[in-house]
Amino acid sequence: VKIHEYQAKHILREYGIPVPEGVMVTSPEDAVRAAGTMHFPVVVKAQVHVGGRGKAGGVKLAHDADDLKRHAAAILGMKIKGGTVRRLLVEPGIAIQREIYVGMVMDRARRYPCLMASAAGGVEIEQVAAETPEKILRIHIKPSLGLREYQVRRAAGFLGIPTGATKAFAAVLSGLYRIFMEKDCSLAEINPLVLTVDGNLIACDAKINFDDNALFRHPEHEELRDDTEDEPLEVEARRAGVSYVKLNGRIGCIVNGAGLAMATMDIVKNFGGEPANFLDIGGGA
């Protein structure tokens, strides 16, 4: 389950991680009203389940109410990587000194949660990994021990966190690790984690994905799902209780069992075809 930035930031706040006091809105008029409690400039951000919003024009800085209304009207309804913008997040502007990336993922090869940190914040981590992998620190965490102080110190040293911000940095990493474990996440990242000109740390963007295999432990996560962000056929399949992923080919596959479904797709590809979908209707069908 993917959730929006404003929902992820609500979770970060619950775990003591500082975030801007933003408001989710669905119209330009609501955006202007939300900014009434803030000081300009403010940032208006598209809420979609894809990256690259800034490059697509989905993140704008507004210096007054007219500026904000114009930007909000332009972003609402915008298409970003196939997703339509239906919600906006309005936040106060932040005086940024540095941008950092921190994230928690599951390293399936090592079978451990992995803390990733990079001083190249504000950029998609996949781009950093492809172009400058030496800029990414990976720390594997044993769940039986949890995040240790020496691991936090190692990350702080790698990122060059100022001495005055190390305690706050430790609190951010601790909160992010707890979110990842307690919420059964497949991804929990802050990009960027901003060091302000005043020396404070603030999570200016956040992405959280929940592991679908753990939904039986977290029925509350279903309430955070936005079906308008998903492929309609995948939504219909989920409601029918089958596993379906839409692909770009023209050969439809209906298969009993996930492993057999993957093998069927491989066979189709091997003989020059393109599968239109992954579909596992279950072994008991």
What are the catalytic residues?
101, 189
Is 221 within 8 Å of 185 (Cβ atoms)? Answer: no
From CA 32, how far away is CA 72, in angstroms rounded? 9
Name the maximum alpha-carbon separation found in the chain: 61
From CA 116, how far away is CA 136, in angstroms rounded? 7
Tokens describing residue 34: 């939300």
